[in-house]
Structure 1
């Protein structure tokens, strides 16, 4: 595995570590401002990945799927970051603090809307990631060194289309509420 792949793994681990530190500091240590500071570090992790990836390509590396995954990671982190933190926050409060309402499994129209919201966030992630991929392609300015980026973008567009189709299907065939079955 190359340096960029290890950097992506480190950034993902770092992302969840700062979230857990933020939640632990906020709820267990009762230090809300310090907890917020930890949570605010998540964009710094994204910036680190962006700088490492850009430096690698600037220094002549041929773009690989790993470089493309860095762009995907950045798009997903920016588009889904706040909702991932909210998701972790709700579960931390309920399962660790033993407070607040239990997270509920959505069904029916509520699930369809929630799924579509996630798909629309995926569209935002795609647009951000695609912008990074196209910028990398532009700055590399050598199709033989940037082919992996355009191939990854095509695959991601297919995945996005499937995600949207699945979300739309929930409006036609809603997720049943298993608790109401006899």
Structure 2
């Protein structure tokens, strides 16, 4: 049941997002659109409540409960960024807004970008681990090995992402060298003749 609800929440997230953006830029109803987009967090609240009720009713803690915590943490950390990114593209394509800037690809700007993404991963893991710790305390002396295992998984993801972000800082990706532009004659002077030789 929990896994099915996670899938339903993910589908609901994208459906609400698509409908909210369509209402904003096609129907020009910003208040209705804002209400739809603000309803997104309710999906995570429903998942959290159902997971807690499932444990309260005597369900043995399993990987599905850990997956629910990871999903909530990821949505809390990356959900607003995803909505903002898609809103910018919808405004560009449907309302003539400016093209959203692309993330930097080179140098320290790219390293800073990767660092900000890593902080979001830290937030996602922190939320997930806090929810899992709450479940561990709630279950008490029950079998909580699976929940502890998911906590360690979240911490490993943070560590791996941190190594990747650190690599961009220590070895920043260099921008490709630009080809030199051909020299032009000063204004008012004729262009030099180009001579072609055979062979």
TM-score > 0.5, shorter chain as reference: yes
CA contact (8 A) 1:107 1:174 kept: no
Q: 1:19 to 1:175 in 2, by over 3 A?
A: farther
What is residue 121 of structure 1 aligned with on the other side?
120
5 Å-filtered alignment, 1:130-169, equals: 130-144=129-143, 146-169=144-167
CA-based RMSD: 1.7
TM-score in terms of structure 1 length: 0.90
Deviations 1:60-86 (A, max 9, x none): 111111110111111111122211111
Match of 1:58 among 56, 59, 63: 56
5+ residue gaps in structure 1? Answer: none
Alignment correspondent of 2:72: 74
TM-score, normalised by the number of residues in structure 2: 0.83
2:85 is aligned, of 76, 84, 87, to 87
| Contact 1:76 1:125 (C-alpha < 8 Å) held by counterparts | yes
Q: 1:172 to 1:24 in 2, by over 3 A?
A: same
Unaligned 5+ segments in structure 2 are 180-199
Whole-angstrom distance in 2 between the partners of 1:102 and 1:131: 34
> How many equivalent pairs are there?
178
Instruction: Output the CA distance in 2 between the equivalents of 1:181 and 1:151.
Output: 49
- The structure in which a higher percent of residues are helix is 1
Larger radius of gyration: 2
